[in-house]
Amino acid sequence: MSQKHVFFFGDGKAEGNAEMKNLLGGKGANLAEMTNLGIPVPAGFTISTEVCTYYYKHDYTYPPELEDEMKEALRKVEQVMGAIFGDAENPLLLSVRSGARVSMPGMMDTVLNLGLNDVTVQGLIKKTDNPRFAYDSYRRFVAMYGDVVLGLKPESEDDHDPFEEILDAKKRARGVQLDTDLSAEDLKELVVEFKAAIKEHTGEEFPEDPMDQLWGAVGAVFSSWRNERANVYRRLNNIPEEWGTAVNVQSMVYGNMGNDSGTGVAFTRDPATGEKVLYGEFLINAQGEDVVAGIRTPQKISHLKDIMPEVYRQFEEIANRLEQHYRQMQDMEFTIQKGRLWMLQTRAGKRTGFAAFRIAVDMVEEGLISKEEALLRVEPDQLNQLLRPVFDAEQKRQAVARGDLLTRGLNAGPGAASGLVVFNAADAVKWAQEGKDVILVRLETSPEDIKGMDAAVGILTARGGMTSHAALVGRQMGKVCVVGAGEISVDYKARQFSVNGKVVKEGEWISLDGSTGEVIKGKINTQPSEVLQVLIEKRQDSEKGVAYHTYQQMMKWADEFRRLGVRTNADQPDQAATAIAFGAQGIGLCRTEHMFFGGERIDAVREMILADDTEGRKKALAKLLPMQRSDFIGIFREMNGYPVTIRTLDPPLHEFLPHTEKEIEDLAAKMNVTVKKLHETIESLHEFNPMLGHRGCRLGVMYPEITEMQVRAILEAACEVKKDGVDVQPEIMIPLISHVNELKAQEVVVRRVAAEVFEKYGFEVEYLVGTMIEIPRAAITAAEVAEVAEFFSFGTNDLTQTTFGMSRDDSGVFLPFYVEHKILENDPFQSIDQKGVGKLMEWGVSEGRKSRPSLKVGICGEHGGEPASVEFCHRLNLDYVSCSPFRVPIARLAAAQAVLKEKN
């Protein structure tokens, strides 16, 4: 514990400074800093956070030295302010406020106007020549003190405030509506009545001695550190209880002393757009709480220039100095007392993601901060705000005001989209072909819905979490996507859904805000972001826009620092193109099974599944070969010069079979088998736990002819494009291994087919054979696995499922409960569980590289685009992360931050 407990500030000199946030709290440190800068701050002192800790450790008592230190500081304040605490002629009045290391707005208690009593109020009257002001201040103080220090509060949330009740009675008695209609005499009576109420309800006298008042208020503020509200807030925001709060005791200044007084708040830049312009508002003849209360409409800060040009000039100069000094956009509070400007607070200002990015880039260009600082000042996830189409803000506001907000789901795919409701994939495709914007509404989506999802402008599901099929595929496609909107009840038969008593029918307009999860009835206009206009639509005219400039600069800087490569998960050439526009350096996961759906392909796939023997399967696979090959040719051309990791067939075969009786009958006719036989096949493929069933390499190991066809398609495609001069770098990835022997068995097939293909073409293509690490056993035995695998790719979706023994599809019942009740800190399907899943990854990387130092290691689970997970992957020294195209810039940024955080 420090020797010193009390830190004075005033008249250009302070005992603290901005670096001392841990000891003085954020507010106290900044008050000291401003004072040192020569900025006019009402004098005061800060009682340190260590006193708070002492207070709780020592049964609500203070260090013995505190009293003397406080008296000494008080004396200095009196000196600077030219007033005496408790003086009958020229009383010094004080505010007593909390101030923790980080802001906890509204969580703790405050006492204003402290020092007033029946004697000093007379001094105040004399000083201000305004009895009404004096008694108004006095009655406010008594009420606040009675509440905060003496505990006279409403008994429950429904109860009235006891002081408000007395006030209301007084107004009724006087026959007036507003507080301001009460006279000085009325207010004086209220003081007496308030004191009596305190005595009656708490049994305690209101203390007339100002020193008693001060000790009471200090104790109340320290005690409020552990009130219910604050405890909950700390738990939610991971703020340690040991930090404690400081107490700031400061001379009162008044913005309500007439038309030469006022109060306001302002930002040094526009917190919504980031534009460099003083942004804020003020009220003449008002106190701070009036600005917040919103009874009177405040004026724009620029208007102050017209009313009090000198004060405005001074304020502008101070704002400028503060921003230059702190090298951060500032959020300031000020009061003008009789024409004199006092600064009451300054701190870093909250802003939108868009503003955060713009300000960071601007400040670098202004020479205020370094690129490193700029990179660290933004939240990678908020980059979305630069990329996503957005609703016309005014139209949306109006719609919500009209009551058209239907419900709120999970914001799975950011952006904004309006479209006509359809309830199945076929309709989505058909309507889209007719030129309509459609939103596909499903209970949940499955691989068969992919074409419909692709055709839709937005996807809405009633079930599923942030990594459900809809969310995963939607994000990868860059679709606006709201999932798990549990209040929605979908009636496929009636072609409508209902939610909170409202019914929306097929063909009606709805609008999805994928950034907030809002589902709104009706149409709202949207527009693509500037960044997309440049990157995707290649509109050069948009390059000069602020959003694009900001994006471009930030990405340039990110790439200068990051070590981690960033690839994308893409199954189609257009997805690959988008990802490259966003800076992807390869494909980390190309899922071949998505290519198995649609027309002739699904027929051939089903023929293969229904085949009785190897020969039958080979015949069906031969039909698929040219189609798969042409898919790969498209992707390889798009990814010229970049590696492409292709995963062999992963899902269980039953996913490719039809489910409804009608579809089964159709298929039976088409395949020329009996319905009974088809039913038997479907039944025989049924699994109790498909996630843990016959899938992944287990298919390829038992039916090597499937792997053989896929490898042939991949390498023939590679040879074809190489002939045209394309730099092709295929990486063949075997999924779901749990034992190295599975990989060995598949590698034999790959090498054999490769030799055959190269023989046929007369030249070779360099390629790698590797594996997903998505099963705990594969990670545990990584040393063995790496003897065969040339690369690892962590499939953290499945690895999380198996490490937790928790299915993504079924955890929706309990996972939200777990996160809400802090059983789990985060949804492990969103951010890598570093202690569990991460431990396996760490082990996998280090064991794998021990047996093969050149082992390339990446991650292709959805976590690859989540900033905390990206940082973790950086720390594990992975070679790359791979994520959906629209998350590529986020991953680039997070990867740069990881480097910078490591340095710090």
Q: Which is nearer to its own copies, 774 or 879 (CB)?
A: 774
Stretch that binds its own copies, among 238-246, 434-442, 808-816, 855-863 (CB under 8 A): 808-816
Question: Which residues 6+ apart lie within 8 Å of 14 measured at CB?
Answer: 7, 8, 31, 32, 33, 35, 36
Q: Should residue 901 be labelled a site residue for its own copies when binding is judged by CB under 8 A?
A: no
Nearer to its own copies, 666 or 787 (CB): 787
CB neighbours of residue 57 within 10 Å: 9
Selected from 837, 873, 890, 896, the binder of its own copies by CB under 8 A is 837
Q: Which of 5, 52, 469, 883 is catalytic?
A: 469
Query: Is 749 an interacting residue with respect to its own copies (CB under 8 A)?
Result: no
d(CA 558, CA 544): 20
Rule CB under 8 A: say whether 871 interacts with its own copies: no
> Least CB distance from residue 847 to its own copies, whole Å?
11
User: What does the alpha-carbon distance between residue 379 and residue 267 come to, in Å, rounded to a whole number?
Assistant: 20
Out of 443, 780, 868, 900, name the contact with its own copies by CB under 8 A. Answer: 780
Q: Is 802 in the site for its own copies (CB under 8 A)?
A: yes
489 interacts with its own copies by CB under 8 A: no
Q: How far is the CB of 702 from its own copies (least distance, A)?
A: 6
What is the nearest approach in angstroms of its own copies to the Cβ of residue 801? 6
Q: How far apart are CA 809 and CA 876, in angstroms?
A: 28
What is the signed CA dihedral for 743, 744, 746, 752, rounded to 10 degrees?
150
The helices-and-strands tally (H runs, E runs) of the chain is 36, 34
Please tell me whether residue 817 binds its own copies under the rule CB under 8 A.
yes
If one asks whether residue 494 binds its own copies (CB under 8 A), the answer comes out as no
Task: List Cβ neighbours of 332 (8 Å cut-off, separation of 6 or more).
Answer: 265, 266, 267, 268, 280, 318, 319, 322, 343, 345, 346
C-beta of 432 vs 699, nearer to its own copies? 699
Closest distance to its own copies from the beta carbon of 818 (Å): 7
Distance CA 793, CA 861 (A): 9
**Measured distance CA(881)–CA(587) in Å, rounded:** 10
Largest Cα span, the chain = 107
- Is residue 569 within 8 A of residue 650, CB to CB? The reply is no
Of the residues 228, 813, 853, 854, which one makes contact with its own copies according to CB under 8 A = 813
Active site residue 469: yes
Closer residue to its own copies in complex, CB, 411/802: 802
The tokens for 249 are 């005791």
Among residues 787, 814, 846, 850, the one that binds its own copies under rule CB under 8 A: 814
Q: Which three-class secondary structure state does DSSP give residue 139?
A: helix
N- to C-terminal Cα distance for the chain?
Answer: 27
Residue 443 as a binder of its own copies (CB under 8 A): the answer is no
Q: Which of 436, 836, 851, 875 binds its own copies (CB under 8 A)?
A: 836
Q: Which is nearer to its own copies, 264 or 838 (CB)?
A: 838
Q: Which is nearer to its own copies, 665 or 680 (CB)?
A: 680
Task: Count the neighbouring beta carbons within 10 Å of the beta carbon of residue 593.
Answer: 16
Question: Per CB under 8 A, does 655 bind its own copies?
Answer: no
* Cα–Cα distance measured from residue 690 to residue 679, given in angstroms and rounded to the nearest whole number: 18
**DSSP for 650-697, written as a single string:** -S-GGGGS--SHHHHHHHHHHHT--HHHHHHHHHHH--SSGGGSS-TH
Contact between 484 and 464 under an 8 Å Cβ cutoff? The reply is: yes
User: In this chain, which stretch among 148-156, 525-533, 597-605, 803-811 interacts with its own copies, using CB under 8 A?
Assistant: 803-811
Residue 859: beta bridge partners? 794, 881
Classify residue 767 by its DSSP letter: -
The reply on whether position 798 binds its own copies by CB under 8 A is yes
With contacts defined by CB under 8 A, how many residues of the chain interact with its own copies?
49
Residue 32's nearest CA partner among 244, 250, 245, 221 is 250
708: contact with its own copies by CB under 8 A: no
Which of 169, 702, 748, 755 binds its own copies (CB under 8 A)? It is 702
- Does residue 860 carry a catalytic annotation? yes
Residue 781 as a binder of its own copies (CB under 8 A): the answer is: yes
Span interacting with its own copies, options 255-263, 268-276, 509-517, 804-812, rule CB under 8 A? 804-812
Nearest to 239 by CA among 111, 46, 7, 49: 49
Contact stretch for its own copies (CB under 8 A) within 180-188, 657-665, 741-749, 870-878: 741-749
Shortest distance in whole angstroms from residue 488 CB to its own copies: 15
Residue 656 exposed, middle or buried by CB count within 10 Å (0-12, 13-18, 19+)? buried
Q: What is the crossing angle of helices 131-148 and 162-174, to 10°?
A: 150
Q: Of 426 and 780, which has the nearer Cβ to its own copies?
A: 780
Out of 221, 775, 870, 891, name the contact with its own copies by CB under 8 A: 775
In sequence order, the 6+-apart residues with CB closer than 8 A to the CB of 766 are 729
Give the one residue of 75, 296, 556, 839 binding its own copies; rule: CB under 8 A.
839
Q: What Rg do the C-alpha atoms of the chain give, in angstroms?
A: 34
Cβ atoms < 10 Å from Cβ of 550: 25
- Closest to its own copies by CB, 507 vs 690, is 690
The span of 2-10, 90-98, 605-613, 802-810 binding its own copies (CB under 8 A) equals: 802-810
Instruction: Name the segment binding its own copies (CB under 8 A); options: 57-65, 105-113, 565-573, 832-840.
Output: 832-840
**Minimum CB distance to its own copies smaller for 555 or for 837:** 837
Contact code string over 449-488 relative to its own copies, x by CB under 8 A: ----------------------------------------
CA dist., res. 188 & res. 168, Å (int) = 15
CB of 837 to its own copies, least distance (A): 7
- The conformation of residue 826, written as its DSSP 8-state character, comes to S
Cα 810 to its chain centre, rounded Å, is 24
Active-site pick, 697, 860, 873, 883: 860
What minimum distance in Å lies between the beta carbon of 773 and its own copies?
A: 11
Element (H, E) at 150: none
Distance CA 775, CA 869 (A): 18
In this chain, which stretch among 7-15, 331-339, 381-389, 834-842 interacts with its own copies, using CB under 8 A? 834-842
Among 307, 443, 682, 806, binds its own copies (CB under 8 A): 806
The mark string for 337-376 relative to its own copies (x by CB under 8 A, - otherwise) is: ----------------------------------------
In 3D space, the residue among 440, 473, 442 whose CA is nearest the CA of residue 457 turns out to be: 440
Question: Is-contact 616 673, C-beta < 8 A?
Answer: no
**CA 499 to the chain's CA centroid:** 27
- 504 — alpha (psi -120 to 50), left (phi > 0) or beta? beta
Residue 830 as a binder of its own copies (CB under 8 A): the answer is no
Q: Tell me: does residue 690 bind its own copies (CB under 8 A).
A: yes
Of 33, 136, 530, 833, which lies in the binding site for its own copies, with binding defined by CB under 8 A?
833
686 versus 901: smaller Cβ distance to its own copies: 686
CB of 142 within 8 A of CB of 195? yes
What is the spatial distance between Cα 580 and Cα 83, in angstroms, rounded to a whole number? 68
Out of 487, 665, 666, 810, the residue judged to bind its own copies by CB under 8 A:
810
For the CB of residue 806, give the shortest distance to its own copies in the complex, in Å.
5
| 492 forms part of the interface with its own copies (CB under 8 A) | no
> Is position 834 an interface residue for its own copies (rule: CB under 8 A)?
no
Just list the catalytic residues.
469, 860
Binding region for its own copies (CB under 8 A) = 687-694, 698, 701-702, 736, 738-739, 741-742, 745, 774-777, 780-781, 784, 798, 801-807, 809-811, 813-814, 817-818, 821-824, 833, 835-837, 839-840
